[in-house]
Amino acid sequence: MRKTLSAFISVTAISMTALLAAGAAKAADPTTPLVLKAPPPILAASPWRVEVGTRYWFSSGNHKYDYYDAHVPGLLISRLTFGDLTGHAAETFFRVDHESGVFLKGFLGGGTLASGKLNDEDTVAATKGPYSNTVHVQSGGSLKYVTVDLGYSVVETRLPTGQPVRVGPFVGYNNFHERMNSFGCAQILAGTAFCATDPPNRVPYPTSLDGLDFDVAWNSLRVGAGGEIELMPGLRASLEAAWIHSWLWNTDYHNFRPEIRGAQQSGKGNGFQLEGLIAYDLTPRFSVGVGGRYWHFSAPGKDYGERLSTNVTRPIYSFSQRYGFFLQAGYRFGGPDDPTGAGNFGPFFGKAEAEPHEWRGAYVGGHVGYGFAAAKDTTLAARSPEAAILQTGFQAPFAQRSDIAGFVGGGQIGYNWRLHPLLVGGVETDFAYANIGGSFGASVNFGVGDAPRNYAASTKRLLEWLGTLRGRLGLLPRDDVMLYVTGGFAYGQVSALGALGDGNKFCALDFYCSAGAYSGFATGWTAGAGLEYAVARHWSLKAEWLYVDLGRQSYQINAFGGSVLDGFPANFAASSASATHLIRTGVNYRIDWPQPAGPMIVAQ
């Protein structure tokens, strides 16, 4: 009732003011007709305040896996340590606050593990001989994660110095998934035969061979608290901490050992997550910021790798951590200080500006995103009689399949023309760093004479950088919102690897080994669609999907080492596809260059 009465009084006062002003103008100039204009509508303040945006997260981390004896408590058998795992990820985030104090927040992200290494240690208990420590190269890994929290701001006040403060607890869910791929194998200690062949061909496994992969998933319940303070007008700082209870599920792919390839581990334990942010308002509702994040997971559990042969589970202990900094751009609307009523959840949440937004002209910007592709075949065609014999006997594959995923990020520049009050045409070019890849390793048991043997085969694909030149056609359902389709030319750097060989003693004289690689410039096409929303006179946020097809790349996998000396050269022709889906978010800044003379089309 009080809100309705206040609104009525405000409208009446504005109307009276307009009437008196018009009357004064009429008295000053009797020839001027008296025209009464309706006052602007008074929009009720929204009880909701919403913030959405995009982030780039640069991080590092490691994962450790300890494997213990089934019968002797505490006896360490083996330890796998993935270290220096450099990550690049793109994410979107949101936060919704209600005037009652209830809030919902979260983020969704994905990216790549661009580098790193694996140390595989085997103790005397495992080898019945010298301690072993082998090193492998991690490449083409990926990460995905999501967090959703529900909370309540128990404190919303001002300090004696006047700064606004809000503090509240929350409960939520976090999922964190890592895929780590390791290539090659080299022994860093003397006196052991692991990762080396029998004399006279004692060489490390080549880095084109995918020997061991880990697929780690942590599902966690979060309980924590966070707060935000305005340090000065336009500058905010926030901090949150959460205790987590996690459930681990891991799949271990020992690609040289088919009897345990696909072994699974599970466990549950505790950890914690920390996050802080400093953000600055470029406009009352558009902000940029920088923050830091640390995640810690740990869990004892069980390994089921030898269940089929011994029906015995073995104790394990798993540990993961990831830490780094992120950059973000965000947009807020709604709440008591928003005059547009955007938080009332009308069409497109209200306008960022009262005056019409002008799309035409030049712009520059940046973007981050996540690329992925479903399993595609790398075909293998025999180029020698020996290769045909192996494929016919199912000792070498005809094709390998590998999913790819990873990060893409870069910049764009473009120009728009206003074709019609509802249509915008434009051209855009972009260039981006990419690390979108994946690998697949497999092995199969078979017999050679009286000796059981197995082959190991692996393929890897990677998109290393990417550029496009595209046209855009946009539809304006409202002057500050553009829905568009886009398409054009795409190019990039693509690499591929392939290797096959004896998984027991790689390149031994009595068996075969082959490897090959491709790296080169590729061209193709791209098409997609997106949405761009003007959040200020010069700034806009965008989200888009692109499909990029760079064709197929062909290369040779040739025999080397023991198979050549033994007169058994298994040579293959490989062909890999390079098609990728990209989901990108970004920011554009429109440049107010002088416009060509002529009438300007303005949306009505």
Q: Which two tokens stand for residue 461?
A: 């694909």
Q: Which residue, among 474, 495, 488, 500, has the nearest Cα to 563 in the 3D structure?
A: 500
Instruction: Answer positive or negative: Cα dihedral of 328, 333, 337, 340.
Output: positive
The string of pLDDT tens digits covering residues 479-497 is 889 999 999 999 999 988 8
> 125: phi > 0 → left, psi -120 to 50 → alpha, else beta; which?
alpha
pLDDT higher than 50, residue 449: no
Eight-state DSSP code of residue 347: G
Comparison of pLDDT for 456 and 452, the residue scoring more: 456
Q: Assign a CATH topology to domain 359-593.
A: Porin (2.40.160)
Least confident of 96-105, 369-378, 568-577, 581-590: 369-378
The string of pLDDT tens digits covering residues 303-353 is 886 544 556 788 999 999 999 999 999 998 877 766 555 555 444 455 666
The string of pLDDT tens digits covering residues 524-535 is 999 999 999 998
pLDDT of residue 509: 46
- Give the residue-averaged pLDDT of 519-542: 92
Q: Which two tokens stand for residue 220?
A: 């966690």
**Can you tell me the distance from the alpha carbon of 114 to that of 437, in angstroms, rounded to the nearest whole number?**
9
* Number of C-beta neighbours around residue 15 at 10 A: 13
The string of pLDDT tens digits covering residues 231-261 is 998 999 999 999 999 999 998 887 777 667 7
3-state secondary structure of 568: coil
Instruction: Answer positive or negative: Cα dihedral of 559, 563, 567, 570.
Output: negative
**Can you tell me the distance from the alpha carbon of 316 to that of 299, in angstroms, rounded to the nearest whole number?**
9
* pLDDT band at residue 205 under the 50/70/90 scheme: low
Burial 417-454 (b: 16+ CB within 10 A, else e): ebeeeeebbbebebebebbbbbbbbbbbeeeeeeeebb
Residues with Cβ within 8 Å of 399's Cβ and at least 6 positions away in sequence, in order, are 377, 378, 379, 380
pLDDT of residue 132: 81
Task: Give the chain's mean pLDDT.
Answer: 82
pTM higher than 0.75 for the full model? yes
**Can you tell me the distance from the alpha carbon of 74 to that of 382, in angstroms, rounded to the nearest whole number?**
49
Which residue bears the tokens 């690897």? 497
* Domain boundaries of the chain, sorted by first residue: 50-338, 359-593
The string of pLDDT tens digits covering residues 33-60 is 544 444 545 456 678 888 999 999 999 9
Establish whether domains 50-338 and 359-593 are of one fold. Answer: no
pLDDT of residue 228: 94
Q: Assign a CATH topology to domain 50-338.
A: Lipocalin (2.40.128)
Residue ranges of alpha helices (H) inside 189-280 are none
pLDDT of residue 59: 97
Eight-state DSSP code of residue 280: E
The string of pLDDT tens digits covering residues 570-586 is 899 998 888 899 999 99
What are residue 93's DSSP bridge partners?
Answer: 53, 107
